[in-house]
Amino acid sequence: MRVEFLGGVRTVTGSATLLETNSLKWLVDCGMFQGGKEIEERNRNIRSYSPQDLSFILLTHAHIDHSGLIPRLVREGFRGKVICTKATLDLCEVLFRDSGHIQEMEAEWQTRKSKRSGKRGVTPLYTVKDAEESLRYFQTVHYDEILKLADGVRICLRDAGHILGSAIIELWVEEGVQERKLVFSGDLGSLNQPLVRDPSKIERGDVLWLESTYGNRFHKSRKETVNELSKIIQEAICDQAKVVIPAFAVGRTQDIIYTIGQLIREGAISPIPIYIDSPLAISATEIFQRNSDCFDEETKALLLGGRNPLEPPEIVYTRTMEESKAINEDSRAGIIVSASGMCDSGRIKHHLKHHLWRKESHIVIIGYQSEGTVGRMLVDGAKTVRLLGEEIAVKARIHTLGGFSAHADQEGLLKWLSYFKNPQLEVFVNHGEEKISIELAQVIQQKFNYKTAVPQWREKRSLFTPEREAVPEERVEEVSALGETFTTLLNRLDRSYKRLRRKLKRERTKGEESVDPRRLRQLGEINEKLEELESEL
């Protein structure tokens, strides 16, 4: 059996893995690359397979970085089955439509720009119609149910506790006399996240794909984070001010609604208007309500007791632009939750424009902020930001609350990994920035002594060779964690040497008398060390 790593490797977006036996080809996840022109080019270049040759796509969850290219594959001839949970299908329905709309708008804008410079128009990656059409190929399964997909291929979806409907995929593949079990963690939730259950424990497996979004971080405790939020809201109530929370439409928004509701239920804050100002977030929240079987026990108990945790008092869902504008005409204290989560598109931009320059307002950042986004600039302490064509002063208080993450931190990932009982387990660390994946791979190797690797984009390997070794093909390079350390150290050496030379040169131009004898001694020592190392090799 062969595997090709097509995305979500050394980056957090574009998750996709191609698997191939003698008779079948299929994908696990089919995500869209996001984060700049260069990487997004990969969305248009599917070179490793023809969509019509794929038998199925196994989908871990609805987030676009895992599902977003499915409409494109269907448009290009995919006629197999997309296997996922029912909640994932429901969420894909709204997310795909939204994504199709964004693709159409972007292509239209690009086309106008291209035509002005005498070039040809741009076709969208896919349209709303393609998005809707692709949903026909979905087949849903329940958690924990084993499904035979073809001769020699069985799967089981287990709760990943990341967002509603998210799954860890267990996959058994037979080839000849061998059977191996592959496990895909998908995005793994953190413990005690509201609404969703904790990630399922998996004990058996031969090969594991493990996400590493926060593989080098330790989140603050949820309790501490909730207390911080409570203080911010109390202060805003006192000052009659607004709290603006940029939040991803699926997952973070519902989490924050639940948490504010909880603070009101416990009497920590008095009821305050909560505006949910994002049509996508509103649709997603409705889907959460329809899939209450996926909720954790705490949420189910609240529902049974007649208290809907997604409908705290004074919650206002605003769909139209008029309703959205009216929010800021209300002079009372209030909380505005709006998308996009990284502040670079959508209605959140209007709210930031309205509040960033007011020193009594609060901006609360609860999710991951990519480099280059307005959200990241605010986190990094920018004094002004450009929004909707205007330079806006940042006078509001900016708070970054780490404990709301929907991804396990290093401690959570290692704990989940500790449930495996196979000393021969092989681990591919994926879904993380390069440096972070490598760091986690090293920690795993040291702690568990598992064979770990951080694959390259489009790297191919064989999973069924008796010695279980990587098969060197095309652009495969050795990526064991030790190999990684070696490369990292070499790169560091290169960079330090260049910096050192630059500084020494500067020193020399100052003239002979400025040369420090201590400096000469140090350089002599470095030279000796280098020569010693070289002669050892």
| Spatial separation of the C-alpha atoms in residues 425 and 447, rounded to whole Å | 13
Q: Closer to Zn ion at the Cβ: 335 or 366?
A: 366
Q: Closer to Zn ion at the Cβ: 149 or 406?
A: 406
As a whole number of angstroms, the longest Cα–Cα distance in the chain is: 84
Provide the token pair at 123: 């076709």
Distance in Å, CB of 404 to Zn ion, minimum: 14
Helix/strand/coil for 218: coil
404: nearest Cα among 288, 260, 298: 260
Distance in Å, CB of 368 to Zn ion, minimum: 10
Q: Closer to Zn ion at the Cβ: 65 or 426?
A: 65
Distance in Å, CB of 63 to Zn ion, minimum: 4
Amino acid at 193: Q
Distance in Å, CB of 268 to Zn ion, minimum: 29
| Spatial separation of the C-alpha atoms in residues 408 and 187, rounded to whole Å | 8
Distance in Å, CB of 343 to Zn ion, minimum: 19
Distance in Å, CB of 470 to Zn ion, minimum: 25
Q: Closer to Zn ion at the Cβ: 68 or 100?
A: 68
Q: Are strands 153-159 and 147-150 parallel, antiparallel or unpaired?
A: antiparallel
Distance in Å, CB of 9 to Zn ion, minimum: 12
Backbone φ, ψ for residue 312 (5° rounding): -65, 160
| Spatial separation of the C-alpha atoms in residues 255 and 309, rounded to whole Å | 10
Q: Closer to Zn ion at the Cβ: 63 or 351?
A: 63
Contact 55, 150 (CB under 8 A): yes
| Spatial separation of the C-alpha atoms in residues 277 and 327, rounded to whole Å | 9
Q: Closer to Zn ion at the Cβ: 194 or 334?
A: 194
| Spatial separation of the C-alpha atoms in residues 312 and 315, rounded to whole Å | 6
Distance in Å, CB of 33 to Zn ion, minimum: 12
272: nearest Cα among 230, 315, 310, 309: 315
Q: Closer to Zn ion at the Cβ: 65 or 104?
A: 65
Distance in Å, CB of 148 to Zn ion, minimum: 27
Provide the token pair at 129: 């119609």
| Spatial separation of the C-alpha atoms in residues 446 and 457, rounded to whole Å | 25
The CA–CA distances, whole Å, from 390 to 243, 279, 343, 476, 496 equal 22, 25, 15, 48, 41
| Spatial separation of the C-alpha atoms in residues 334 and 247, rounded to whole Å | 16
88: nearest Cα among 186, 193, 215: 186
Helix/strand/coil for 371: coil
Q: Which residues bind Zn ion (CB under 5 A)?
A: 63, 65, 187
Provide the token pair at 370: 């990519």
Q: Closer to Zn ion at the Cβ: 63 or 242?
A: 63
Q: Closer to Zn ion at the Cβ: 20 or 65?
A: 65
Distance in Å, CB of 189 to Zn ion, minimum: 9
Provide the token pair at 97: 């439509």
Orientation angle between helical segments 252-265 and 222-239, nearest 10 degrees = 70
Q: Which residues make beta-bridge pairs with 336?
A: 244, 275
Q: Closer to Zn ion at the Cβ: 318 or 430?
A: 430
Q: Closer to Zn ion at the Cβ: 196 or 272?
A: 196
Distance in Å, CB of 407 to Zn ion, minimum: 8
Contact 167, 94 (CB under 8 A): no
